[in-house]
Amino acid sequence: AQKVTQTQTSISVMEKTTVTMDCVYETQDSSYFLFWYKQTASGEIVFLIRQDSYKKENATVGHYSLNFQKPKSSIGLIITATQIEDSAVYFCAMRGMSNYNVLYFGSGTKLTVEP
Amino acid sequence: EAAVTQSPRNKVAVTGGKVTLSCNQTNNHNNMYWYRQDTGHGLRLIHYSYGAGSTEKGDIPDGYKASRPSQENFSLILELATPSQTSVYFCASGPSGTGNERLFFGHGTKLSVL
């Protein structure tokens, strides 16, 4: 069974600082994919960034990057130089190769960026 | 950009009534999904489909049926709605492939069962 856990319910940071959101996962699959999605205040859910389990390099897209620690089954999302518009709920998700059509989500972390 | 459209955006239903939530995607994706979002639970998978005519059970299928009559359309059916099914429902679509594909989400349907 696949499981994704986000223990941080909410985080508040000051604008222009760096924030890290935690995520741990459980899987029996040797190959899997990890994703982060963002849900804006309007409810829209959009894909942010992906990490493939077989890649050692941490993925980076714009001011989003990942801290992939495979031995700890951990995939943290790092947002540098945060902006007010980064305020949202962030979901970690995983897809294992045993059922690669199904994406499992964590419970989400609400980020508030203060001016 | 992939387009996934859900209807209705808001729905109020009575306990015991039948509710149908509709989803349409215009990007020829094979896979479609229904999730529900509740505080503290994130997004939980109800049903999904690999293509027209197919439906599969997700993690929480009890009380729900799904229908995929065409590549573009995927419906979620609550035959006998209950207050516990009050939630926000999201439809998503994605291409079939090797597993690294992103999903495209609709804007959600807020369902209240009274």
Q: What are phi and psi of A101, to 5 degrees?
A: -90, -5
Would you report the helix, strand and coil content of chain B in percent, each value rounded to 5?
5, 50, 45
Please indicate whether, in this complex, the C-beta atoms of B100 and A108 are within 8 angstroms of each other. Answer: no
Q: Is the pLDDT of residue A41 over 70?
A: yes
> In A, which residues are within 8 Å of B31 by CB distance?
101
Q: What are phi and psi of B111, to 5 degrees?
A: -110, 130
Is the bond preceding A71 in cis, omega lying within 30 degrees of 0? no
Q: Is A61 on the interface with B (CB under 8 A)?
A: no
Instruction: Tell me which chain B residue has its CA closest to the CA of residue A47.
Output: B102
- The CA dihedral of A83, A84, A89, A91, to the nearest 10 degrees, is -10
Task: Please report, for residues A23, A83, B2, the alpha-carbon distance to residue A77 in angstroms, rounded to integers and kept in the order given.
Answer: 8, 15, 25
Can you tell me the mean pLDDT for B75-88?
97
Q: Higher model confidence: residue B100 or residue A14? A: A14
pLDDT of B96? 84
> In A, which residues are within 8 Å of B88 by CB distance?
43
pLDDT of B2? 60
pLDDT-derived band at A97, boundaries 50, 70, 90: confident
Q: Is the pLDDT of residue A70 over 70?
A: yes
pLDDT-derived band at B1, boundaries 50, 70, 90: low
Q: Is the pLDDT of residue B97 over 80?
A: no
Can you tell me the mean pLDDT for A66-83?
97
pLDDT digits (tens, 9 = 90+) for B35-74: 999 988 889 999 999 999 999 999 999 999 999 999 999 9
Q: Which residues of B26-39 are buried (b: 16+ CB within 10 A; e: fewer)?
A: eeebbbbbbbbbee
Q: Taking the alpha carbons of B85, B78, B2, B102 in that order, is the dihedral positive or negative?
A: positive
Residues above pLDDT 70, as percent of chain B? 98
pLDDT-derived band at A66, boundaries 50, 70, 90: very high
